[in-house]
Amino acid sequence: MSAMKDFLMTNCSRVLMYEGSPGYGKSHLLMEIEYLASRHENHRAIAIALTRISFHQNFYTIQILMANVLGLDTCKHYKERQTNLQNKVKMLLDDKFHCLLNDIFHVQFPVSREMSKMSTLRKQKQLEALFMKILEQTVREERIVFIIDEAQFVDGTSWAFIEKLIQSMPIFIVMGLSPFPESPCVAANAIMKNRNTTYIILGAMQPQEIRDKVCIDLSVSSIPRELDSYLVEGSCGIPLYCEELLKNLDHHRVLLFQQAESEEETNVTWNNLFKNSVRPTEDTHFYTLVSEGRKEVCYLASGVRLKNLSPPASLKEISLVQLDSMSLSHQMLVRCAAIIGLTFTTELLFEILPCWNMKTMIKALATLVESNIFDCFRSSKDLQLALKQNVTTLEVHYRSLSLKPSEGLASDEEELREKEGEVIECQILRFCRPIMQKTAYELWLKDQKKVLHLKCARFLEAKAHRCNHCKNRDFIPYHHFIVDSRLNPLDMDKVKKMAKSQGYKTEEDVIFSKSEVHKKYRFPEILSDTETKEVILHFFDNVIIKMRSSPEYIIPSESCRCEELLQIVILPLAQHFVALGENNKALYYFLETASAYLLLGDNYKAYIYLGEGERLLKTLTNEDSWSQAFEYATFYSLKAQVSFNMGQMVLAKKMLRKALKLLDRVFPTNLITLLLQTHVEKNRFSHLMSQHPQEGSVPGKKLALLYLQSACFSLLWKIYSLNFFFHYKYYGRLAVMMQVNTSLETQNYFQIIKAFLDYSLYHHLAGYEGMWFRYEILVMEQLLNLPTKDDTIEIIAYVADTLGHIKFLMGHLDLAIELGSRAHKMWSLLRNPNKHHMVLCRLVKSLFLKSRYKHLVQVLGWLWDLSVTEEHIFSKAFFYFVCLDIMLYSGFVYRTFEECLEFIDHNEDNRILKFQSGLLLGLYSCIAVWYARLQEWHNFYKFSNRAKTLVARRTPTVLYYEGISRYMEGQALHLQKQIEEQAETAQASGIELLKALENLVAQNTTGPVFYPRLYHLMAYVCILMGDGHSCDFFLKTALELSDSQGNLLEKCWLSMSKEEEEEKKEKEKKKKKKKKKKKKKKKKKKKKKKKKKKKKQRQQWRQQPSPG
């Protein structure tokens, strides 16, 4: 309201103009301004709303405004109006000219001779002069605020009068208008460019604002996530659309309300694995009086799928009007695009358009983009970025624009040609309004839809696989060998190409590989750990040199495009199959989609599409078919992966057992079968290790089965490793052994190497203390015997990366840095951002613990650049996590605390971060520790409580242990506060905290790299609780571990803690000595006093007279 303040202070005219398309809330805004203006004393707000007809009636806007100023709007009869007018203008206008007002205000003053002779132009000038006088008189008495809604319909004469008016007297005019249908008149342009005009283009509501609005409108504390997504996507941020969609849901009784349940009381099942509700921002209580008492939550009626609901009639009508205003060819194009979906490519659209040429289609698309029917995007990343945030409100400075040198106005044809060029470059398009897509889709007949969906499916299925960078494989290995998901028949060339992409060799390749004589490299047994390290690092260095010297043969020409293909090919294909009723084929692609999202780290999306898959599984009837059993097993294994990532190990284990049962690999449930199975697997292992693997010899169906089994066993051993019970370690050992045996059966080098590295990690975590485990050496021998070509480079990069990870976990920090640096170079050259960001994250933590800050800052710069270039939220979150760590433990600022806090506030609801175990826990805990050190306990509780909700998601990952160690530090600082305040629960809290820290150290999955920090925290808790002996032991252990690992950061903090403890002990000793001395002195004094007393008594006795 700065314009209003200026108007009141400077006493000069102000114009405030709000531009926005229909539905953006201009009328609501003007009503609010009218209400605020009318509340002020000596202020008069006059509001009018115009229509399309108003534009064609000369001077109509001013006529209506003046009728309000003169109070004629409340008169019931023309005689009353006439009397009022006569009283108002008798001092300003001669009686003979009163008839000027007859046509304007519909009164019947007698027409004078002078008036009948007057020209139309002179009458208009006379009338304008009268209105100016009336307004001048009114302005002296009170401040006038004119409010005009739909101001794009102001007629030209009225614009000219308004221009004169704002130059003549102090008046405040507020206008709400839609974009002008044609170029505005000269007077309107002059007003827009006036220095006293503020012109604001209203933007759409942001996703969070939509959520806040809905929660306030429904008076609830949370809404379902599905409803939130539906309203954000369906409304496009337009308030009217949001309200209409909500009314439609309420009308169909989709929305239900109930009292909120406590989160602790809810048992975790697959159906409630993800917290299915979202809350408004904390500041929404400002808008409601009952925020504290709002315990009701909104949820959806069972069985309702919002995306299948037809749009409200009111919104469909708006879309139909838009469609009717288009040419028939444009209507056909929009309707065909609606069949494809919300997002589509020009390539697919051209495929299904009947008898169009490309040039005509591009021209039509350019026109529709210009008309805001479609948006176009260069890449899927641009599309995702646009979907995250709607267009915001902005102020336009027309005066500044008019002062710029004119470059000549481009003709409509030139603008269209530019737009055509943009469409050709972009290729990805999306409906601006999802309502338009649904409305256009519903215009097709059922048979027509089926024909078009079939066309789309036939076109898309040829591209429905991973990208060229990833060798066109399936997301679920060898999936297509099990399930026949194709509509188009395969020719022999396609079969050979698919087989080659999956790692199969032709008959000639097999004969040639057999004829090759390989000289097998073996590591000499006498090599020391250091010499082994040198050989391995030298090998990786040579590979990097070869990659750089022969990039055309080894380095891929493009980076990974799997995410883009997922959005524009695989997901749409699944939807087309659903529309065609081909449920088995749709299920295939929904499972592929879920697997892809797990690879991309998006647990929530994987969960959603597994839900889609589950609905389709229930419709399948051929229960005995092998392909269906495999799909069920895949479904359960993917469920297990999601449950594992969410820290729900009981649920994950249950799903894995189901999957393995379907795959004919029942995992033991009791100790007897465990011992028998272990014996069988040991014998099997010896047999398989004695064979030489021959790639391409195992049938595709068997490979699909083996790969899925191996994935299940890989998760299973990690789950068993988390459990404290002694016998569970035997189950874990069997699971990892079964993973190795299953991988050996595949006869695929990459799969075998992955299994061997998992086997090494298991043994390292189980207590093996050497630098190199023998299976790591075996992996390196396999690598040294493989030819260095494009197929094997990815394996080599994976090995360097994984070995670096294992060495970091085991506390071999220098080696972890060496391996991580080489893995970073390889993934960078291979242009795989998903792998590249992970190796940078690990490298950062190793450098941080080694206090190598120069190198650390350099790697952080690479991580930041990668996160910005790839729009990678995980990398960005990890970057800020490290920045907080640097502030807390290294004593310098890389990014300010305020910037880190702002990032968390803006992104804590991001679905990748929210449903990823560890990173958000670490961010919240770091903020809590910061506030605890500053003793800002209110803020500490706020973030500590948020972190507490994530602690239960216990997963055997580095990120979780990073996060939990920060959380434990926050709890230790809180314990200090409790002890200082002599709280009753302090003792119990201390014991509980110490027990939790001991459990973390005792877990197999907690890598030794975390031990120094955990022992340090245990020592700190013991200090607080007065247990000096235990404190000394924990400090000593932590220091020894820090020395052996080269963990300089923790060593520095431990040294300070030790010094403090020694100082404290010295003070205690001195205090004790002083106390003892004081006590001795007191005792001596007391003894002397007693002796003196005795002496006195003896003297008194001697002085007494003797009897008789």
Q: Which amino acid appears at position 746 of this protein?
A: T
Amino acid letter at 213?
Answer: K
Q: Please give the average per-residue pLDDT across 1008-1012, as a whole number.
A: 94
Q: Which residue has the higher pLDDT, 850 or 1102?
A: 850
Reduce the DSSP state of residue 583 to 3 states and report it: helix
Going by their DSSP bridges, the two strands 43-49 and 394-396 should be labelled as: unpaired
Say if residues 17 and 199 touch (Cβ distance below 8 Å): yes
Residue 376: DSSP 8-state: E
Looking at residue 965, its pLDDT comes to 94
3-state helix, strand, coil in the chain (%, to 5): 70, 5, 25
| b (16+ CB within 10 A) / e for 73-104 | eebeeeeebbebbeebbeeebeeebbbbbbeb
Structure-block tokens of residue 308: 């299948």
Q: Does residue 52 contact residue 212 with C-beta atoms inside 8 Å?
A: no
Q: Is the pLDDT of residue 832 over 80?
A: yes
Backbone angles phi, psi at 996, to 5 degrees: -60, -40
Cβ neighbours of residue 898 closer than 8 Å, sequence gap 6 or more:
none
Distances (CA, A) of 850 to 422, 803, 891, 1036: 50, 18, 15, 20
* pLDDT value of position 1108: 40
* Residue 827, pLDDT score: 93
Closest CA to 963 of 924, 921, 1026, 917: 921
Q: What are 1037-1080's pLDDT values in tens digits?
A: 999 999 999 999 999 988 888 787 777 767 777 777 777 777 77
User: What is the token pair recorded at 1008?
Assistant: 């030794």
Bigger pLDDT: 510 or 687? 687
In this structure, which amino acid lies at residue 905?
Answer: D
What confidence score (pLDDT) does residue 868 get?
92
Residue with tokens 């207590």: 767
Q: Which residues pair with 256 in a beta bridge?
A: 299
**Residue 822 is inside which H or E element, if any?**
helix 813-830
DSSP code, position 486? -
Per-residue pLDDT tens digits for 180-197: 888 889 999 999 988 889
What distance, in Å, lies between the first and last C-alpha atoms of the chain?
116
Residue pLDDT, tens place only, 361-401: 999 999 999 888 999 998 888 888 888 777 776 777 665 55
Give me the torsion for CA of 333, 334, 335, 337, rounded to 10°. 90
pTM of the model: 0.87
For residue range 72-125, list pLDDT tens digits in order: 877 777 778 788 877 777 777 777 777 877 777 777 777 777 777 788 888 888
User: Residues 626, 606, 254, 449: is their CA dihedral positive or negative?
Assistant: negative
Cα gap 659→666, rounded to integer Å: 9
Over residues 1008-1018, the mean pLDDT reads 94
Mean pLDDT over all residues of the chain? 86
Q: Please list the alpha-helical segments (H only) found in 916-957.
A: 919-933, 937-951
